[in-house]
Chains A and B, each alone.
Chain A
Amino acid sequence: QQQVKQSPQSLIVQKGGISIINCAYENTAFDYFPWYQQFPGKGPALLIAIRPDVSEKKEGRFTISFNKSAKQFSLHIMDSQPGDSATYFCAASKGSNYQLIWGAGTKLIIKP
């Protein structure tokens, strides 16, 4: 019940296309869902996050869609650029527990 399942493991998208990464969770107590972006040789960096009281959050070209009934959330990258090539992690946590449960990561490659 503590798992967060992320797919796909890897993704290749043409420049200008839409990149979509999906995550699913089981624990309905989770109330915070962040996405992290990691470039080679760097630590993960918080990209965008959502709470279950909203169904969508947008920041620039990055959008999180959240489906509470399906226990799924996804990251959409619009107009994908080569600079978006990185590994993306979804995560979840519950209240004061605070410990993040991480997805396995998706390696995204944007082809010029």
Chain B
Amino acid sequence: DAGVIQSPRHEVTEMGQEVTLRCKPISGHNSLFWYRQTMMRGLELLIYFNNNVPIDDSGMPEDRFSAKMPNASFSTLKIQPSEPRDSAVYFCASSDRRFNYGYTFGSGTRLTVV
């Protein structure tokens, strides 16, 4: 398995633009998580899905952020409009709750909003 695949690896965008981050979880995993990592705030859970259904989006900072999981093999995190304070590394992780609690993280998307 290729692991959790995120794209793009790096994204530089201007303030006000729409940004879409993509994630392909490990096949067979039924939970998917979006995290944001910054030096100041560490790892923050933004939202997680079980069986493609959003379970907890309380970590989504504001209405500018939205996430979807249209099927078991794809999820997106969208920021519209983007702001400089959104600059961070965004990670997607997946897991299979039936067997263990371990998360497998992707390599992340480094977002810079200028």
Contact = CB atoms under 8 A, between A and B. Distances in A.
Interface of A: 32, 34, 36, 41-46, 49, 89, 93, 98-100, 102, 104-105
Nearest to A31: B101
A93 B45 CA distance: 13
Contacts of B107: 41-43
Given A43-B108, A99-B48, A32 B43 contact: no
A9 to B, nearest CB: 11
B7 to A, nearest CB: 14
28 contacts: A32-B101, A34-B101, A34-B102, A41-B107, A42-B105, A42-B107, A42-B108, A43-B4, A43-B93, A43-B105, A43-B107, A44-B43, A44-B91, A44-B105, A45-B104, A46-B102, A46-B103, A49-B101, A49-B102, A89-B43, A98-B31, A98-B97, A99-B45, A99-B56, A100-B45, A100-B101, A100-B103, A102-B42
Interface in B73-111: 91, 93, 97, 101-108
Given A43-B91, A98-B97, A104 B42 contact: yes
Which of A34, A43, A89 has most chain B Cβ within 10 Å? A43
Interface residues of B, number: 18
Contacts of B106: 43
Interface of B: 4, 31, 42-43, 45, 48, 56, 91, 93, 97, 101-108
A44 B106 CA distance: 8
Contacts of A34: 101-102
Contacts of B97: 98
A105 B42 contact: yes
A32 B4 CA distance: 23
Nearest to B92: A43
Contacts of B91: 43-44
Contacts of A93: 101
Nearest to B59: A99
